[in-house]
Structure 1
């Protein structure tokens, strides 16, 4: 087996690093833009008078960064070549996401809102696979420049992680559908052109089939943003959205009638492996910074690093990073080889393990750095607060474990995935 990172990915990382040094770091340092990343970051980013949403200056800076990355041909790495991309792989995206998160906080990569100089535009990839010709004509040009996009309306207030028990419904009315219901944690609707709304069109609660995805323009009558939910890590763009007699044409169906859950599972699998890689990168950053500080700090006349109470936890965390890195790379490679649904068990393993690891690494980094580690003058509290949400969103830890168990014990209806040893 060859564990070397493919040359084309290594070369791309070097290209990205050079781009960050030449274009992004100078932008980060001018006009007091550093306020978005230093101890003032939460206040600088948040419009406290507008329901805690990201403020205009912050989002304009992210837009400027994205434009520079698009111009440099960096942003579109995962897109097909015909859409200005480089036919990037899942393995490539996992390695890139870890690499960028491993650099710490900065304008190059900020996971709070999925901002990155290398785009994580899974919506475009879904559009290419599941969109109709008319939908592709409407969306693809805007999506490849990140000037157009849709949010995902999946989670419901009363059902949380249980995506198959869905009270939001859509009933046919001639060549149209009438949608009624409510979604929560509907991220990014304040800048979205449409909301991809999951609604039950047939079947009964618990059925996998019968859920349909609808692309609903945000200005559609009956669609209302009820509130934006304040969170552990601000700003927040997570909304509760209601749908009252929302009328959309049949042409708004995305991925086929009754097949919406398949679209979402595809989205989850690709996004979860990238999310896991980001959490791994952030965890490694916390470990590296802690080792560096432990070698420099000399309480009682000797470096902190001479104490086994510091050494042993950091060795354990670093060992877990090494093991998880191997699993993430293997899983991403298998996704490229056999498809997004071929390694659902391993995607779940990677996701919950990486998110737990990042929280533990950030917590211990705070401990190693003492009072300053707890303060906002160091990035660890921000990393903890941000990555803590990943242990809940897109499937809580317990849901991920339950999913892996379903394959391990043969409870799942799908084909037993590769690599299960019993």
Structure 2
């Protein structure tokens, strides 16, 4: 068994580092752009008088960083070559995401809003695999080039992680001789709706509450009559781009159906494993950053005439975190490597529990690492002069949003005890 990373991947990490030094770091340093990374100045990113939304200047800076990354051939790395990408593997994306996050916060990789110079484009592959020819022609280039944005309208106020008890409905209705669907309901955490051109709205089209079948996905223009932003939900880490959205008798034509009618939840699950392993790698990288910063500080700080690092009370918690980081890194890379040797259906059938293990443990670990970094740094670590409280506030969300921790644990438990997965016990 060879644990060495492929040379083309390690060479690519060096290429990314050179690009960051040449293009991204100077952009971050220019025109007072550092204000967006000054942890004391949350208001630099947040327009408090505009519902707490991201400031236009902040999002414009992110757009420029992505434009430069795309021009240099990095942004689309994970996409197939047919879309201008480099056919990046799951292993490569996990290693890259960990590498970028381990550098700390910066314009190269700011996970508060899923920004990275190496992008993640799950919806492009959704349109490739489920879209009509017309949808592919409009949305694939639109998503890659940035002039189409489609938030997910899946989660509902009263059901959270349960997408099967969906109260949003879509019923057939013909208007002016055109067959279509009338949508009525409400969605929560429809991230990115403030800049959306459309929204992927999941609605029950048949069946009864609790049925997995009978939920469909429809592409709704964001400016369609009846689409209403009810409120933007302020969060632990601001700014917010997470609204509650009402769809009040919104009509769309038949061509708005995305994928097979009544099989919409297959779309929602299409990229979940890739997303979760990459997000786990990002949390791993951020945890590594917190530990390494704590080690450096403990060696330099000398209260009572000796380095903090000489105290076992400082050493031992960091030793435990470092041990967990090493073990988790191996598991993430092994799981990503296995994913690259399987089709999507095979991953869902054979590796789903391993992906969940990586994801829930990485998200828990980064919170523990950020908390320990605050403790090692003392009062300055708790302050906004250091990034640890920001890292904690951001990554705490992933114990809820990227498949809640309890959902991940439930899946692993079901596979372990034969209630689901490849070793399911008949009749259970």
**2:214 aligned partner:** 210
- Of 282, 285, 289, the match for 2:286: 282
State the SS of the aligned residue for 2:206.
coil
Matched, 1:10 2:10: yes
Q: Is the 8 A contact 1:70 1:145 kept in 2?
A: no
User: Counterpart of 1:247?
Assistant: 251
Q: Find the counterpart in structure 2 of residue 381 from structure 1.
A: 389
For residues 90-120 of structure 1, the C-alpha deviation after alignment (integer angstroms, 9 at most, x for no partner) is 1111111111110001000000111110111
Equivalent position of 2:402 in the other structure: 394
How far has the Cα of 1:267 moved from its partner? 2.6
Please name the residue that 1:173 is paired with: 173
What are the within-5 Å matches in structure 2 for residues 15-414 of structure 1?
A: 15-174=15-174, 175-340=179-344, 341=348, 342-412=350-420, 414=421
Which is further off, 340-349 or 227-236?
A: 340-349
**How far did 1:39 drift?**
3.0
State the secondary structure of the residue aligned to 1:227: strand
RMSD of aligned Cα (Å): 1.3
TM-score scaled to structure 2, two decimals?
A: 0.95
Q: Larger deviation: 247-256 or 321-330?
A: 247-256
1: distance between equivalents of 2:271 and 2:254? 22
Does the 8 A contact of 1:151 with 1:187 survive in 2?
yes
What runs of 5+ residues in structure 2 fail to find an aligned partner? none
| 1:123 and 1:149 in contact (8 A); partners too | no
Deviation, 1:8, is: 2.1
List runs of 5+ in structure 1 lacking aligned partners: 418-422
Partner SS for 2:20? helix
Find the aligned partners of 1:283 and 1:360 in 2 and give their Cα distance.
Answer: 8
What is the deviation of 1:149? Answer: 2.1
Greater Cα shift, 388-397 or 250-259: 250-259
Equivalent residue, structure 2, for 1:420: none
Tell me, what secondary structure is at the counterpart of 1:171? strand
**1:233-285 deviation line (CA, Å, top 9, x unaligned):** 00010000011111112221222111111111123222111111110000000
How far off is 1:416 after superposition? 4.2
Query: 2:148, 2:198 within 8 Å by CA — same for their partners in 1?
Result: no
- Contact 2:214–2:262, Cα closer than 8 Å, also in 1: yes
SS of the residue 2:262 aligns to:
coil
- Following superposition, which runs of at least 4 residues in structure 1 exceed 3 angstroms of deviation? 414-417
SS in 1 for 2:269: helix
